[in-house]
Structure 1
């Protein structure tokens, strides 16, 4: 009976609205690419109203080196992770030495030791705390970390697990990369973090079952190539079509196999806001109402796509609304891969 007791979120300080992004895009692209108007339409139609960054756009653009950006990542990841962990402890009433396992996810920078080591030190967690950093699962990592937390609590029902997702996609933007994938990334992604605290105590949001679905023969759809100029985003435009073709049937089968604990209540959908087209596809193929994807759209509009942290933001939105009923979480990531979980909001 793994249960999400509390959720916490954190954002960096630099706020950027979409008008600023459009103006910056026009300034950077004019005279360099023949499709300025098309690129600006992509940005304008991304469904993002505001986002938050760890540095100002000019600082990021003026410092393209991987060394500088990864240094910023290191510092900001520790800061955001600390803020999330502090809120999780305060809201749950737990002490740091009561955490038995800490799982962290991130794909937008590189640290050894990983960020969890700094959190263990900062909060003086027990020396036997278990650590699981997940670094290469992209946007699906948050959902997958939640699956691993549930499995751990099945084996150790008296334990407590903290799961923290920290993503800084702004530091992966390549200033001289004028491919549409890089521009779409700039249109969608923001920086931020979120976390969950799980136990087997009653109350909260129960995590019932999970399932991974791997899409064979699709490693080229999503990911990063890492070179001297940093992270080169791989983001194929066919992703919504692949989701429609290959994800809907296994997802419906997974849902059909789950017992409905609250059949009188509407299903609560916690869907990764990867972009407007992804949400449109999921809404249409599952026969949902716009209200079913409203929380995902609100998160996308307010903070952008936060990669692995996004589904935690949507979940936090649902918890804040005090919804009741069965739930379904889904997120997609490199591989190409999907992770699904059945939930119960109690």
Structure 2
């Protein structure tokens, strides 16, 4: 099939981000988890080491129980396991906390794009850390004052890649239905699914995830729009021999995540050829929005594509200051990049965005930072898949 190509331009016109009020230093999280492992000194030592080296300094959580002692944190109990929150309890906490965060991000995105709630024709909601019905989409329509006839497209349980997948879905909507305005809202409360550590893999997964929300408005740019991201071609690909390397299953005490240590190597093996499909014969772009799924993932992409520290700096900074926010994270990276370009009064620049999730799935997309409205921003035809 051909990569998407259309004469109807679609762009990210505005972005909004939101974080919970509770921030916690990575060193404090490491101490909290190590304290819960007093009967397992080898695991405690591993926790301190991996938490120190994963590239995270600060994370955010919707649950203040992480701010106290190990004895007061029900998610990390080392003794009696009977009071660990059930999946039902975690979902109730999600239902309580997800809407305010999503609402804050959505309102910022609408304001940034200069759009009113009545302009929105489609709403894509994204989350893999909680589910309930009527869902986040219905609640956002009511709270934001969107039309009750808005086309709702919930995208659930797709992991870290889902934020970029939603952006590409919104691009397709705009290009297929000119005049559409799509609001994308991602909310992830990853800390609700922390588990008492039983093995090193669980500690690795717990070392960098945090909570947050992001949103964006996607539509055709107009003369009043500036500093937007014009969306080019892109696609989703399943990488070979990687089905078991990232799994996310519903358990009795929350969702159980497994991340294989092979993931950075797998990306290093397959990503260069996939980017060749995406870019064709074009030169490598200047801007790189890499989902910081972990320090090793950013390292792998940087090494394979021979990128500079400056080019991976946006991703590393988001990882450092907020951690991996699952599907939410890619918009944090794009917003940091966009604001930096604006502050530098930068010229038009080409870029690539990428995010990774279970499958092992890679979402890849071209984009262009446009400082001032330019109806001539078009993309050339590219390779065939």
TM-score range, shorter chain: over 0.9
Please identify runs of 4+ aligned residues in structure 1 that moved more than 4 A: none
TM-score normalised by the chain length of structure 1: 0.94
Which is higher, the Rg of structure 1 or of structure 2?
A: 2
Per the TM alignment, residue 5 of structure 1 is displaced from its structure 2 partner at its CA by: 0.8
Q: Deviations over 1:232-291 (max 9, x none)?
A: 111111101111112221123312355x7xx9xx61100000111101110010011111
In the aligned structure 1, how far is the partner of 2:202 from the partner of 2:43?
14
Deviates more, 1:249-258 or 1:6-15: 249-258
Q: 1:45 aligns with which of 47, 53, 59?
A: 53
Match of 1:216 in 2: 240
Unmatched 5+ stretches in structure 2:
1-8, 67-71, 76-82, 371-385
Match of 2:218 in 1: 198
Q: Secondary structure at the match of 2:118?
A: helix
Per the TM alignment, residue 60 of structure 1 is displaced from its structure 2 partner at its CA by: 4.8
In the aligned structure 1, how far is the partner of 2:113 from the partner of 2:98?
22
Per the TM alignment, residue 179 of structure 1 is displaced from its structure 2 partner at its CA by: 2.0
Task: Decide whether the 8 Å contact of 2:30 with 2:47 is kept in 1.
Answer: no
In the aligned structure 2, how far is the partner of 1:36 from the partner of 1:248?
37
Aligned residues: 340
2:266 counterpart of 1:242: yes
Match of 1:307 in 2: 326
Unmatched 5+ stretches in structure 1:
none
Task: Decide whether the 8 Å contact of 1:73 with 1:168 is kept in 2.
Answer: yes
Q: Secondary structure at the match of 1:188?
A: coil
In the aligned structure 2, how far is the partner of 1:47 from the partner of 1:64?
29
Per the TM alignment, residue 33 of structure 1 is displaced from its structure 2 partner at its CA by: 5.2
TM-score normalised by the chain length of structure 2: 0.85
Task: Decide whether the 8 Å contact of 1:273 with 1:296 is kept in 2.
Answer: yes
2:115 counterpart of 1:94: yes
In the aligned structure 2, how far is the partner of 1:18 from the partner of 1:122?
34
Match of 1:326 in 2: 350
Query: What are the residue-to-residue correspondences of 1:262-273 with 2, within 5 Å?
Result: 267-273=286-292
Per the TM alignment, residue 25 of structure 1 is displaced from its structure 2 partner at its CA by: 2.1
Task: Decide whether the 8 Å contact of 1:64 with 1:174 is kept in 2.
Answer: no
In the aligned structure 1, how far is the partner of 2:232 from the partner of 2:351?
10
Match of 1:119 in 2: 140
